[in-house]
Structure 1
Amino acid sequence: MYIRRSWDPLYGRIDFSDFEYSLLLLPEIQRLRYVRMCNINSMLVTGASEISRFEHIIGVMHLAKQWAKCQKLPESESRDLVAAAALHDMQTGPFGHSMQYVLEDSLEEEQFLHEDLKHGRRVLFHQQVLAGAAFAGKPFSAARTLGAKWEKVTSIIHGDELYGPLIAGTMDLDNIDNVVRLAFHVGLVDQKEKRLPLDLVNVLSIKDGQLTFPQTAISLVRKWQKIRTNLYKLLLLDWAEFSAKAMLTKAIELAAKHKIIGADSWIKTDLEFLDYIQNQSIGAPQEVKELVLRLRRGELYNPLIMLSSSSTEKYKNISSSDSKTRIEHAILASGKYKTSRILLHFILDKGKTERSVAFSTLESSETITIGKNSNTLLIGIFSQSLLSPSEQREITKSCVNILETEGFRNLKTFNDPMGTAPMSQTSLL
Structure 2
Amino acid sequence: MADLKTITDTVHGTIRLDPLTLDLLETLELQRLNSIRQLGLTYLVFPGANHSRVEHCLGVGHVAGEMARALGLPDDERKLVQAAGLLHDVGHGPFSHTLEHVLSRELAVDHMHLTQRIITGHDDNVSPEDRRAFPDVKRIHEVLEAHGVNPAAVADLIRGPSERGAGLLVPGGRKELKRYLAQIIHSPMDADQIDYLMRDAHYTGASHGTIDFSRLLQTLRTHRGELALDRKGLPALEGMLVARGLMYSSVYFHKTVRIAEEMLARAVERSDAPIADIQKMVDHELLNWLVHQGPLQREIALRLKYRKLYKRVLASDRDDLTDATRAVLASFKDPDERRRVEDRIARRAGVKPGQVIVDVPLPE
TM-score by length of 1: 0.70
Q: Write the letter of the residue equivalent to 1:164.
A: A
Distance 1:287 1:171 in 2: 42
Distance 2:185 2:261 in 1: 27
Aligned to 1:331, which of 345, 355, 360? Answer: 345
Equivalent residue, structure 2, for 1:213: 229
Change (3 A) 1:298 1:320: farther
Equivalent residue, structure 2, for 1:165: 183
Please identify runs of 4+ aligned residues in structure 1 that moved more than 4 A.
120-123, 310-316, 337-341
Aligned to 2:199, which of 181, 185, 203? Answer: 181
Distance 1:100 1:119 in 2: 17
What secondary structure is seen at the aligned counterpart in 2 of 1:234? helix
Residue 292 of structure 1: CA displacement?
0.9
Equivalent residue, structure 2, for 1:100: 100
Residue 3 of structure 1: CA displacement?
5.9
Q: Percent identity?
A: 23
Runs of 5+ unmatched residues, structure 2: 162-167, 169-177, 320-324
Equivalent residue, structure 2, for 1:296: 305
Deviations 1:110-149 (A, max 9, x none): x233112344457533789xx5684974656101111261
Q: Larger C-alpha radius of gyration, 1 or 2?
A: 1
Q: How many residues align?
A: 334
Distance 1:312 1:170 in 2: 30
Q: Higher mean Cα deviation, 181-190 or 66-75?
A: 181-190
Equivalent residue, structure 2, for 1:270: 283
Runs of 5+ unmatched residues, structure 1: 353-429
Distance 2:76 2:237 in 1: 30
Equivalent residue, structure 2, for 1:9: 10
In terms of fraction of residues, the more strand-rich structure is: 1
What secondary structure is seen at the aligned counterpart in 2 of 1:212? strand
TM-score by length of 2: 0.82
Q: Determine if contact 1:11/1:195 at 8 Å carries over to the other structure.
A: no
For residues 22-421 of structure 1, what are the structure 2 equivalents within 5 Å? 22-48=23-49, 50-106=50-106, 111-116=108-113, 117-120=115-118, 121=120, 123-125=122-124, 134=131, 137=134, 141-147=139-145, 149-160=150-161, 161=168, 162=178, 163-189=181-207, 196-208=212-224, 210-255=226-271, 258=272, 260-279=273-292, 281=293, 285-309=294-318, 317-334=331-348, 337=349, 339-340=351-352, 342-350=355-363, 352=364
Residue 278 of structure 1: CA displacement?
2.5
What secondary structure is seen at the aligned counterpart in 2 of 1:40? helix
Distance 1:182 1:174 in 2: 12
RMSD, matched Cα = 2.8
Distance 2:20 2:122 in 1: 27
Q: Determine if contact 1:312/1:348 at 8 Å carries over to the other structure.
A: no
Residue 101 of structure 1: CA displacement?
0.9
Q: Determine if contact 2:64/2:85 at 8 Å carries over to the other structure.
A: yes
Change (3 A) 1:303 1:10: same
Change (3 A) 1:347 1:200: farther
Distance 2:3 2:233 in 1: 38
Deviations 1:32-68 (A, max 9, x none): 11111113253222232x1111111111111111111
In terms of fraction of residues, the more helix-rich structure is: 2
